[in-house]
Amino acid sequence: MGHPDKLKQVKDIPLKAIAFAVARVPNSTHLFLGCSDFKVYDADVGASKFDPKELYTHGSYVTGVALFGKTLVSGGYDGKLNWYDIDAGKVIRSADAHDKWIRRVRVSPNGKLVASVGDDMVCRLWDAATGKLTHELRGHVEKTSNGFSSMLFAATFSPDGKYLATGDKVGKIKVWEVATGKSVAEMDAPVMYTWDPVQRLHSIGGVRALAFSPDGNALAAGGIGKIGNIDHLEGKPRVELFDWAASKRLAEHESDRKGIVNHLEFAPDGSWLLAAGGGNDGFVFFLDAAGKKVLRADKVPMHVHDVATTEHADGVIAVGHNKMVVFDLKG
């Protein structure tokens, strides 16, 4: 397994568009990208010449891609989920999944369920093989306390697939039982939400990333601390760690950099927690298992929207504003 001390950037690859989402084919350098030009791409980051190939399009930004077996599922600001058969090379199913923008798409660890969250404040669970809707998870409020529309940004499955966590703009985190669709825990991360009643009558922030620890006991939430100028992401990247079953906050950390955490991921053995995101530029940093101590922090040459890691967490692929950066953690 890779170690943060050995983090080294090995590739800096230009992209023609903003990559909002990435999915990696297991045991390979083969990737799928969801981008700002409304397209889904097939690419090989290990090829001598990086040459992404367009597969299909959405009606707007593609903000989520997830892979199970030989099927890719993508979601976008058009509210649609598309199922793409990799071997057949075609979209085999399309669903009008959400009434507003889709923010995230996730596949359960066993590959049998797809979760999608959108700005209609609903998380929907779909049978991955058939596209049948299995549950609608409702409970996040549609309006902030100041009367603005809220947004449902983040979702993640527990390692055993029994639970799903979701996070919204005002810092509300909910954990759901996948089998029943029932809400089983709630937490709040209010510092991640900024309301400016003077300059712009505007709000910003939210829980943008979630990750369960490998044993499933801890839940990490990522976003941004309080923001002075709400027209820019000038707050500090913020991570909070919870004992979700007890709805108890275990730790909170704010980096000395600026920007918002868009991705969180634990090491397979739970020894560290990776956070990635950005403001005007980007960052990756690693926290210890307790979520308090920084083990390593590096600047990234673009705002990072999503990350894919290798099976043994010895490689990291970060995608974002017109760039892809590859890191090696093997040393």
Q: Is residue 42 part of a domain?
A: no
Instruction: Check residue 19 and give its pLDDT.
Output: 98
Q: Is residue 301 part of a domain?
A: yes
Q: Is residue 183 part of a domain?
A: yes
Q: How many Å apart are CA 229 and CA 215, to the nearest integer?
A: 39
Q: How many Å apart are CA 193 and CA 223, to the nearest integer?
A: 9
Q: What are phi and psi of 275, to 5 degrees?
A: -125, 140
Q: How many Å apart are CA 291 and CA 213, to the nearest integer?
A: 11
Host H or E run for residue 307: strand 304-309
Residue 131 near residue 93 (C-beta atoms within 8 A): yes
Q: How many structural domains is the chain composed of?
A: 1
Strand 193-196, strand 202-205: pairing: antiparallel
Q: Is residue 101 part of a domain?
A: yes
3-class SS at 4?
A: helix
Q: Is residue 34 part of a domain?
A: no
Q: Which residue segment(s) compose the domain that 310 sits in? A: 4-16+62-317
Instruction: Check residue 132 and give its pLDDT.
Output: 98
DSSP letter string, 39-66: EEEEEETTSSS---EEEEE-SS-EEEEE
Looking at the chain, the number of H-run helices and the number of E-run strands are 0, 30
Q: Model pTM? A: 0.96
**How far are the Cα atoms of 15, 255, 305 from residue 296, in angstroms, in the given order?**
26, 11, 19
| Cβ-proximal residues to 119 (8 Å cutoff; 6+ apart), any chain | 98, 100, 101, 103, 149, 150, 151, 152
Instruction: Check residue 252 and give its pLDDT.
Output: 97
Q: Which two tokens stand for residue 223?
A: 């976003």
Q: Is residue 198 part of a domain?
A: yes
Which one, of 2, 63, 66, lies nearest residue 326 by Cα? Answer: 2
Q: Is residue 323 part of a domain?
A: no
For residue 228, the Cα-to-chain-centroid distance in whole angstroms is 25
Q: What are phi and psi of 245, to 5 degrees?
A: -65, -30
Instruction: Check residue 16 and give its pLDDT.
Output: 95
Q: What are phi and psi of 246, to 5 degrees?
A: -95, 0
Residue 320 near residue 308 (C-beta atoms within 8 A): no
Other CB atoms within a 10 A radius of the CB of residue 276 amount to: 30
| Cβ-proximal residues to 201 (8 Å cutoff; 6+ apart), any chain | none
Which one, of 120, 125, 208, 132, lies nearest residue 162 by Cα? Answer: 125
**Using the 8-state DSSP alphabet, how is residue 21 labeled?**
E
Host H or E run for residue 90: strand 90-96
pLDDT in tens, the chain (331 residues): 888 999 999 999 999 999 999 999 999 999 999 999 999 999 999 998 999 999 999 999 999 999 999 999 999 999 999 999 999 999 999 999 999 999 999 999 999 999 999 999 999 999 999 999 999 999 999 998 888 889 999 999 999 999 999 999 999 999 999 999 999 999 999 999 987 776 665 667 899 999 999 999 999 999 999 887 666 667 899 999 999 999 999 999 999 888 999 999 999 999 999 999 998 899 999 999 999 899 999 999 999 999 999 988 999 999 999 999 999 998 7
Residue 306's identity, in one-letter code, is D
Residue 322 near residue 18 (C-beta atoms within 8 A): yes
Instruction: Check residue 196 and give its pLDDT.
Output: 72
Instruction: Check residue 1 and give its pLDDT.
Output: 84
Q: Is residue 293 part of a domain?
A: yes
Strand partners, 263: 276
Q: Is the dihedral of CA 217, 247, 117, 103 positive or negative?
A: negative
Instruction: Check residue 145 and give its pLDDT.
Output: 84
Domain CATH for 243? 2.130.10.10
Q: How many Å apart are CA 19 and CA 157, to the nearest integer?
A: 23
